[in-house]
């Protein structure tokens, strides 16, 4: 197994566990974006649909299940748990993520090689990767241009998170590139 993938998986797993522990220990989700957590849950649910069709390894299967369950647990806490739900400030969570989901879905219908459900998932991932990258650029821009924008922790965390996904982006690009080469006529 690739050491970078293992390190990325473990770091991501630790960040999820710390977030869940913070929510349960403080009985609060103050400062956490429900919309972002819903997007993570959606990404994991769609990205790991191959759990039902392709077996890679026990590690791979366990990690996929853990990421799905933990992301759904965070969303559940923020939406259903009465004590935690009261601390969620909807006024601060203003990103219109339904437009992003609709746009990703529309692009997945247009940009595909085969018209199958599982084939559309990479197109959705590309759009969510683009969203994440653009959102980081937004934070950097706001930090540099808005004197009162002091969310440096959010900016820094977003950059670190994207860096942790670099390994995934790299291998995803390679698999896309190799598939494109395989389809070219000899």
Task: Tell me the pLDDT tens digit for each residue of 131-148.
Answer: 666 666 666 776 777 776
Task: Tell me the pLDDT tens digit for each residue of 57-69.
Answer: 898 899 999 999 9
Rounded Cα–Cα distance for residues 19 and 14 (Å): 8
Rounded Cα–Cα distance for residues 90 and 109 (Å): 31
Taking CA 129 as the corner, what is the angle to CA 124 and CA 130, rounded to the nearest 5 degrees?
A: 100
Better-predicted residue by pLDDT, 26 or 130: 26
Write the CB contacts of 173 (distance below 8 Å, at least 6 apart in sequence): none
Better-predicted residue by pLDDT, 20 or 173: 20
pLDDT at 185: 39
Residue 121 pLDDT exceeds 60: no
Confidence of residue 128 (pLDDT cuts 50, 70, 90): low
Rounded Cα–Cα distance for residues 156 and 34 (Å): 19
Confidence of residue 181 (pLDDT cuts 50, 70, 90): very low
Residue extents of the structural domains in the chain:
1-94, 96-186
Task: Tell me the pLDDT tens digit for each residue of 1-52.
Answer: 668 778 878 888 888 888 888 888 899 888 888 888 888 898 888 878 778 8
120, with CB counted inside 10 A (0-12, 13-18, 19+), is: buried
Residue 75 pLDDT exceeds 90: yes
């Amino acid at each position: 197994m690739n050491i970078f993938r293992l390190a990325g998986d473990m770091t991501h797993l630790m960040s999820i566990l710390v977030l869940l522990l913070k929510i349960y220990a403080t009985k609060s989700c103050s400062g956490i974006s429900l919309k972002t957590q819903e997007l993570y849950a959606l990404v994991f649910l769609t990205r790991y649909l191959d759990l039902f069709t392709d077996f890679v390894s026990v590690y791979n299967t366990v990690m996929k299940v853990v990421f799905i369950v933990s992301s759904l647990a965070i969303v559940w806490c923020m939406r259903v748990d009465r004590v935690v739900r009261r601390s969620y400030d909807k006024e601060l969570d203003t990103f219109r993520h339904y437009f992003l989901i609709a746009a990703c879905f529309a692009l997945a219908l247009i940009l595909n090689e085969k018209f199958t459900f599982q084939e559309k998932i990479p197109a959705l991932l590309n759009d969510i990767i683009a969203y994440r990258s653009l959102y980081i650029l937004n934070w950097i821009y706001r930090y540099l241009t808005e004197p009162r924008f002091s969310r440096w922790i959010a900016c820094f965390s977003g950059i670190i998170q994207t860096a942790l996904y670099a390994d995934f982006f790299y291998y995803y690009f390679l698999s896309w590139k190799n598939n494109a080469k395989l389809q070219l006529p000899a």
